[in-house]
Structure 1
Amino acid sequence: MTGTVLPAQSPHAPDEGRSRLVAIGLMCVAVICFSLLDTSAKWLGGSMDPLQVVLARYAGSMAMVLALFNPWSRPGVLRTKRPWLQAGRSLLLLGSTALNFIALQYLQLAETVSIMFATPLLVALVSGPMLGEWPGPRRLAAIAVGFIGVLVITRPGFGGMHPAALLSVIGCFCYAFYSLSTRVLSAYDSSETTMIYSGVAGTLVMLPLLPWIWTTPQTPLPWLLMLATGALGGFGHWLLILAHRLAPATVLAPFIYSQIIWMIALGYLVFGQLPDRWTFIGTAIVIASGLYLLYRERVRHVPEDAASARLD
């Protein structure tokens, strides 16, 4: 006689399911924040140096984070076990932000985010030499297909996109190494400590450039948007931290791709721009490759006893 043994229902299962739903909601709100951040940066880039927008983004974020986490309310929050890694990670994030804001002067919102969707592919590719997490042949094939999608979006040599797309590609590399360094740092420092160093480092690096990049806004709206970039960046990253405390990354990662919906909508509503068919095709290829990588990641981490739940 054969039968199927159903796993016992955990008394905490409803709470776990509720936590995952909350985490997914936090992730979706976070990507909306980042979409609004990029929209504000693109709009401001039409009247001021994009590096001024970068400074506003980091100074505002730093003020917000320090208001929440500081040595007085959280003693020892500034203490880090890996100061050089914190500095390198902060510079990678700053480089990615600056390159993205400069590229936004010439590219559509949907184009820049489509290229940035290749970040998980790069992370999977370089995790081998850096972390010893070597991808198998199926994951390597998915990575290769994903990069083909990036080529479809940028179409190098075919005159399909502005050369500023190269800045987005370099920014994507910066963000991939930033993501890897964040994973390494999570074993040594708290998320609060890492957030503080990101804002402080970005502000300190950009401040000396202020006399050469500053343009005084003549109306209240640019001032408000400059403040909004800092608030949106800081709040969005904090929501990501909260989301990852409630659910694993493999559950949350697919919802990052919902950002393309907001970027297309905001690009059309604010700038009257719609991506061409090649951007749609390339984006679909990159997203499909990223989702397949997530699927393979979940398969690799299925507990061995799950396979023995069925009895012959």
Structure 2
Amino acid sequence: MSADLTDPRPHRPLLGMSLRLLGVVCVSIMFIAGRTADARGVHIFETLFYRQALAVPVVLGWIAMTTGLGSIRVRRIGAHATRMVVGVTGMALNFLSYILLPPAEAVTIGFTMPIFGTILSATILKEKTGIHRWGAVLVGFLGVLVTQRPGAGALFSLGVVVAIAAAFMTACVSLILRRLSRTEDPGTIVFWFTFLSLPPLGLGALLYGGAHDPVTWGLLALIGISGGVAQICLTGALRWAPVSVVLPMDYSSILWIALFGLLIGQGWPQAATWIGAALITASGLYIAWREHLHGRQPPSA
């Protein structure tokens, strides 16, 4: 989620970075809980439905305490519907990537989102993209190749393809948000994304859902609540600091995912994953810095 937020209060970079970091931790918890729920027999439709449904009260409470419930009046319902379809597709692919891949590898490939954002900005928005940013794109994709340990077998597994597709869809969402934020309040964007997704996801949950034990229901509740809190923190961070300041916090997610992965018995990431993550992170941060120099918002989700 991203938006240009104009606020009369002074910038508080430390607060913005802290909120972004908390949001990243919540996102990490959400995906690890989603992976664990899948291992306990939860269908992806159920995971997505409870992710959205349980986030609604959290989001509404946030809106009520900030801009007021009247701010959810919609101006461009068609654009919100498009954002919902693309956003839910990206969310589903992200959850699946954490199910199909070791968590640290999934989050590392997810770091390629700013790289796809650069490509889409150049091809769709026709933004000027110089040799520096294209060089960063190449370094980022080199990082993906490193994570796959060439020579260790098949270069791209289904999980890797899903993770790359997830990063691409998230970059598409960032472009949609960039346009929506020109006329819509951030709270409005978050609310309608969540609300519009409930009918189709609810139907899927009815068709593929089932009974669960208390621990599994607790995991689904954790997915929804942590996801809602993450949306609030990631968006709220931008009220106090620009994207270029808070974006580096996103890359700490590999540390949180690695630690949470240890808790569910995934083991410590291999050296190739850390090297690839370093290359992709450097690429993303360099793209963000170049965007900052040229006065554009780097893609942020």
The TM-score by the shorter chain falls in which range?
Answer: 0.7 to 0.9
Is 1:39 aligned to 2:21, yes or no? no
- Residue 29 (structure 1) aligned to one of 13, 22, 32: 22
Q: Counterparts in 2 of 1:149-168, with a 5 A limit?
A: 149-154=143-148, 158-159=153-154, 162-168=157-163
1:253 paired residue number: 247
Q: Counterparts in 2 of 1:251-290, with a 5 A limit?
A: 251-290=245-284
1:148 paired residue number: 142
With normalisation by structure 1, the TM-score equals 0.85
Partners of 1:238 and 1:228 in 2: how far apart? 15
Larger Rg: 1
2:53 paired residue number: 59
- Residue 222 (structure 1) aligned to one of 191, 216, 226: 216
Higher mean displacement: 247-256 or 159-168: 159-168
Is there any run of 5+ residues in structure 2 with no aligned partner, and where?
A: 1-9, 297-301
2:207 paired residue number: 212
1:125 paired residue number: 119
Q: 1:195 to 1:230 in 2, by over 3 A?
A: same
Partners of 1:82 and 1:151 in 2: how far apart? 40
Decide whether the 8 Å contact of 2:63 with 2:69 is kept in 1. no
Partners of 2:244 and 2:280 in 1: how far apart? 17
- Structure 1 position 284, deviation (Å): 1.2
1:9 paired residue number: none
* Percent identity (aligned): 28
Q: How large is the Cα RMSD of the aligned pairs?
A: 2.1
- Other structure's SS at 1:295 match: helix
Partners of 1:46 and 1:155 in 2: how far apart? 26
- Structure 1 position 183, deviation (Å): 1.1
Partners of 2:191 and 2:22 in 1: how far apart? 21
Q: 1:155 to 1:212 in 2, by over 3 A?
A: farther
Partners of 2:246 and 2:72 in 1: how far apart? 29
Is there any run of 5+ residues in structure 1 with no aligned partner, and where?
A: 1-14, 303-312
The code of the aligned residue for 1:43 comes to: T
1:308 paired residue number: none
2:109 paired residue number: 115
With normalisation by structure 2, the TM-score equals 0.87
